């Protein structure tokens, strides 16, 4: 990031009274700029995308195993499909947390 020894001591805080030109002149000392240059933001984004991919794969695996278990119990493919589609319709209407 091109660290400076006095970075933390000389970091400029944003004052709402600053003009647009003054803010643009100080953009390089903002924390978000430092994060972007250090690559931490990109690494955090990549790690979160990987975590989402793993969670989605685990969810899909559980759903497939549930379908196979229902087939083994003697449920018809049609009954399983109806059950899955009604479950999706219910979950689509509720917000995710």
Name which of 83, 54, 80 is nearest 68 in CA terms. 80
| Mean pLDDT, rounded, for 56-75 | 92
Interatomic CA distance for residues 63 and 70, integer angstroms: 11
Interatomic CA distance for residues 90 and 97, integer angstroms: 15
Place of tokens 């790690």: 47
The answer to whether residue 95 scores a pLDDT higher than 50 is yes
Reported as a pLDDT band with limits 50, 70 and 90, residue 30 is low
Q: Which two structure tokens, joined as six digits, stand for 21?
A: 């030109």
pTM: 0.45
The answer to whether residue 66 scores a pLDDT higher than 80 is yes
Q: To the nearest whole number, what is the mean pLDDT of the chain?
A: 76
């Amino acid at each position: 990031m091109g660290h400076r020894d006095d970075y933390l001591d000389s970091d400029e805080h944003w004052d709402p009274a600053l003009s647009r030109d003054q803010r643009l002149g100080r953009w390089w000392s903002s924390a978000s700029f430092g994060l972007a240059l250090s690559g931490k933001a990109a690494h955090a984004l990549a790690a979160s995308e990987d975590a989402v991919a793993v969670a989605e794969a685990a969810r899909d695996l559980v759903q497939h195993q549930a379908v196979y278990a229902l087939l083994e119990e003697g449920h018809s493919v049609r009954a399983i499909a109806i059950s899955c589609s009604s479950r999706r319709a219910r979950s689509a209407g509720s917000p995710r947390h």
